[in-house]
Amino acid sequence: MTTQTQQHRCYQAALNMLVRREHSRLELTKKLQQKEFSDEDITHSVSLLIEQKYQSDERFSESFIHMRFGQGKGPILIAVELKDRGIKDFDLSTYDWFDLAKEVREKKFGMNIPADYKEKAKQKRFLQSRGFNSDQINKAFLE
């Protein structure tokens, strides 16, 4: 198969992935490598998609943050997940993480703040596992 045909197949495969959902540059590259396209074809195709504005790490990160926020995930977890996907620059400041931590706690455990130390610790560990920091967690227990 000619190089141009392979490049076209690689480009189409990447475009099909982007049609379904936003992907980071790193995600797209890894998925194309799994499909055994050459590094040269992958670099060419991804660069072309960026140039055509079909792929954007900024748009991906905004979409990803919004999705994870809606799932009740905290900023620490989201930041780790974004870095794993090759995103270094992102803005988490536009969201109210304190309010979300409280909502997540209330949804899982109810409106009442536990007086029992063990139960309170359990709820705090849960929020920590969701990616909230200690300030956000502590504020979720204020009335």
CA-to-CA dists, residue 1 to 9, 19, 47, 48, 98, angstroms: 11, 26, 22, 21, 56
| 1 pLDDT above the threshold of 80 | no
Q: What is the pLDDT of residues 31-68, one digit of tens each?
A: 999 999 999 999 999 999 999 999 999 999 999 999 99
CA-to-CA dists, residue 134 to 52, 116, 118, 126, 140, angstroms: 42, 19, 17, 12, 10
Phi, psi of 22 (to 5 degrees): -65, 145
What are the structure tokens assigned to 34, written together? 């799994």
pTM of the model as a whole: 0.91
Q: Is 101 exposed, middle or buried (0-12, 13-18, 19+ CB in 10 A)?
A: buried
The candidate with the shortest Cα–Cα distance to 108, out of 75, 72, 69, is 72
Q: What is the pLDDT of residues 84-134, one digit of tens each?
A: 999 999 999 999 999 999 999 999 999 999 999 999 999 999 999 999 999
Q: Are 18 and 25 in contact (CB under 8 A)?
A: no
